[in-house]
Structure 1
């Protein structure tokens, strides 16, 4: 099963909550950059995970941090949660072919966890309602609920666990770039000042129809970009590079460090990618939004 990455086209940090987390308003869209998970039954009750680093098509992938394969990995956490919830005695062998970079703001870990819930439900013949999937996803992480949804574009609120699917998909071409460095999500949120923008996600959603796309690029926003730039000079460097590119608009996704530009076509995106690679950016990919 394929686990897609995502981009945050709009991200507003509304307030800091008493539990230490933050209330968000964000619009996320899935893109055609995927990890792959292979699920195989075994003869024991154990769930094992093997990670294989894969290149994204013909793209060079920068060095990845060593990823855990034990109980701290979101794939194992999702499998364990599902086993306990459904009272399953069976085990599984999971192979994760990793193409989405870590510490990138692309949601790779969350997508892998969501795909694990769906994949093991099929392998173990567990019938879960969509509400049950969302409840399990909320226990695993803020973005997991988006990836268990049935649409490629959604508005997410709260910590990200309240998901309102959008039936009208985003239809855009992007060039995505990531430096070799990453960022800690908690560190970025710690530096964030909530409530800096008054534009709401509802205003952004109204710009999604094709006839309003020029308004969409004007309202592109991410409250986490400024704190990320304070913490990581590579994000500032990417912003400076994108300022020189003829893209419609550009910004960081999630808590970084990946950065994207909106392009008019795949040809336009490939041209921008070539310029970014020539500038020494180690990870560059041409993608488009998923349709479902």
Structure 2
């Protein structure tokens, strides 16, 4: 993820992600699950701008506040008779927590003013909140001139969420553990995707609570090798079956994608978003037009940044 200097501070485009492969390997004693997943950033993003707020000498040992402004440019945030997907606009937002955590661990007294423009739907398995948190870590790192590497930021990112470390990097990656062990991955080929976000979101904990761990889990390495050989394998997500138990929208969107002629499709993360992969952008745009006419939710056409 790039952080760029601007007059107003440091700006970062925080991308959404898709899980091209996700297997649940075992249940851990700490309540999490061991997974293997191949995640890829896509061209749907939130925008974060952060500027440093110098410490006030007259305030003594009191640290300056972390100011936070949330703006939504997403049609899912209100209206259309659909339930709002809430994104906290206060200090409980993961962005604020990320900046406060970095300030504490770095031992600095500066504050920050943050503006976040939301476009990525929440509770959809697209990693928007995690991506925003990673963008906040990178922007604060730049604004406060800490010069920490992604490897140094990764432990903080893992404290904030399992997907956050992935977004510190700029490529697809194989992620293991609970998702926090990141191995950047290249040469997967070009993909275009249509993402459908139905009007009902899913909670990650609810989906994982229903997952049945396979006795013979699939491994991500073979999927990656097929991509590199150009064979374009169908995506796979072990969380799709439990998600289907929670909402009929998974089956409905899957069926509608199949009707467009798409042959490679799967759920992303713990849902509820569903995506189809296409070799050509024009075919993706054509499928998106058909899906928008069928009232299945929000529809995005994106490029996968392999």
Q: TM-score range by the shorter chain?
A: over 0.9
> C-alpha separation between the residues in 2 aligned to 1:134 and 1:183?
27
For the Cα contact (< 8 Å) 2:95–2:132, is it kept in 1?
yes
- Determine helix, strand or coil for the equivalent of 2:34: strand
> C-alpha separation between the residues in 1 aligned to 2:224 and 2:279?
20
The match for 2:200 is 181
TM-score by length of 2: 0.88
- Determine helix, strand or coil for the equivalent of 1:72: coil
C-alpha distance after superposition, 1:54-80 (max 9, x if no partner): 14xxxx545342321333211011011
The match for 2:214 is 195
2:109 aligned to 86, 89, 112, which one?
89
TM-score by length of 1: 0.92
The match for 2:131 is 111
The match for 1:129 is 149
Worse-superposed segment, 33-42 or 100-109: 33-42
- Aligned ranges 1:204-223 → 2 under 5 Å: 204-209=223-228, 211-213=230-232, 216-217=233-234, 220-223=235-238
Gaps of 5+ in 1: none
* Structure 2 residue 20 is matched with structure 1 residue 9: yes
1:235 aligned to 230, 247, 250, which one?
250
The match for 1:46 is 65
The match for 2:167 is 147
State the Cα distance separating 1:43 from its structure 2 match: 4.9
State the Cα distance separating 1:170 from its structure 2 match: 4.2
For the Cα contact (< 8 Å) 1:9–1:26, is it kept in 2?
yes
Q: Aligned-pair RMSD on alpha carbons?
A: 1.5
Worse-superposed segment, 64-73 or 135-144: 64-73
State the Cα distance separating 1:48 from its structure 2 match: 1.6
- Determine helix, strand or coil for the equivalent of 1:240: helix
Structure whose alpha-carbon radius of gyration is higher = 2
> C-alpha separation between the residues in 2 aligned to 1:286 and 1:157?
28
> C-alpha separation between the residues in 2 aligned to 1:246 and 1:116?
39
For the Cα contact (< 8 Å) 2:86–2:122, is it kept in 1?
no
